[in-house]
Amino acid sequence: MKRVVVFGRGGSGKSTLCRGLGDATGLPVIELDTIYWDESLRALSPDEWRQRQLSVVQADTWILDGDLGPYDVTEPRLARADTVVIMDTSLVRCVWRALRRGRQRFDFWAWVFTWGRRYRPQILADVQRYAPTADVVTLWSTRDIDNWLARCGRDP
């Protein structure tokens, strides 16, 4: 495991998982939100987003933390990924965690509520298309997450 992409709806625990995985493996963690959004939360064009990702994925090792829902272009990072993690935690848990963070934009909430029906199937199709040989890990619960991270820390 050298190049990891993590997907999941807002509040699913992506950032927490990525920090834990980075600690367990020593791989650098990159939050995609920090390279996508500017101070005004202006959406990039798909071409701009593709170019920003291409520069990031040239590195030999990384963990990419992020799922940008309706704004995402997944091909650049999936094409280089050897591991794809899908955080498929419950909607109720995600909403609760997101509410605790504070105010969010309408498009965030639309993404959170439609992720399972709309974005998860698209992510799975993109994985098949762009990362057919990658290991795919789906995590549904805190127990799954903890168990997987413990195994990652033991892997050579």
**Residue type for position 19:** R
Residue 109 predicted with pLDDT over 80 = yes
* Sheet of 29-31, strands arranged across: 29-31, 62-65, 3-8, 83-87, 135-139
Total structural domains within the chain: 1
Residue 74 predicted with pLDDT over 80 = yes
Q: What is the mean pLDDT of the chain?
A: 93
Note down the domain range covering 133: 3-154
Percent of the chain at pLDDT above 90? 82
**pLDDT average, residue stretch 132-155:** 90
Query: Does the pTM exceed 0.85?
Result: yes
β partners of residue 138:
86
Q: For the chain, where are the alpha helices, taking DSSP H only?
A: 14-25, 32-36, 46-56, 75-78, 91-101, 106-114, 120-130, 142-154
**CATH number where 59 lies:** 3.40.50.300
Q: What is the pLDDT of residue 40?
A: 82
In this structure, are residues 75 and 50 in contact, taking their beta carbons and an 8 Å threshold?
A: yes
In this structure, are residues 20 and 148 in contact, taking their beta carbons and an 8 Å threshold?
A: no
Take residue 82 and report the two structure tokens written for it. 């050897």
Q: How far is CA 75 from the centre of its chain?
A: 13
At residue 118, what are phi and psi to the nearest 5 degrees?
A: -105, -50
Residue 89 predicted with pLDDT over 50 = yes
Residue 102 predicted with pLDDT over 90 = no
pLDDT digits (tens, 9 = 90+) for 11-40: 999 999 999 999 999 999 999 999 998 778
